[in-house]
Structure 1
């Protein structure tokens, strides 16, 4: 179980870092689209910083499981907000919304990673 938790945490950390870094820097297509849909630049940057921090926490959680579990819980909150945001804007019904489908998938994977890390730490 520990090896599965480590692999999943590392992959989720990479995904979280890749998603969060452009938002934290307010550079790229995704932050521009989020601001155009009404999110303030400060909230976009905060979301990006939360995703980057979650990536760091997931990696640190490989060695200290409580940090990984806390990072996964924080990332679950961020992903829940992303799912709610995309649902509000109707992105799940829109075939042009490319990144919208990743939020529920990442939410599920983060939940599995948190459960696996919790099981491996006992």
Structure 2
């Protein structure tokens, strides 16, 4: 179970960091799109920093599981917020935006799985 927890934590950390870095720096098309749809630049930066913090927490959580569990749960909460945001803007009905909009659903499930495997591996 520990190996599964490590694999899930590392994969989630990579995803979370690569998704959060552009938002934290407010560079690239993703932050610009979020701001264009009504999110403030401060909120976009906060989301990016939360994703980066989750990545750090997941990696450190390999050695200290309580932090990894908290980071995985926090990332799941952020992803659920992203799902609500995409639903509000109708991205699931739009065939062009559907691909990017389904990623938070997948990663919310993976974050919950990581939290469960980290808990079971203690």
Q: Normalised by the shorter chain, which TM-score bucket? A: over 0.9
What's the offset of the Cα at 1:70?
A: 0.6
TM-score between both structures, scaled by the size of structure 2: 0.97
Match of 1:66? 66
Q: What SS class does the counterpart of residue 94 from structure 2 fall into?
A: coil
CA distance in 2, matches of 1:41, 1:27: 11
Match of 1:43? 43
CA distance in 2, matches of 1:94, 1:51: 26
Match of 2:101? 100
Unaligned regions of 5+ residues in structure 2, if any?
Answer: none
What's the offset of the Cα at 1:73?
A: 1.1
Runs of 4+ in 1 over 3 A off after TM superposition: none
Question: Alignment RMSD, CA only?
Answer: 0.6
TM-score between both structures, scaled by the size of structure 1: 0.97
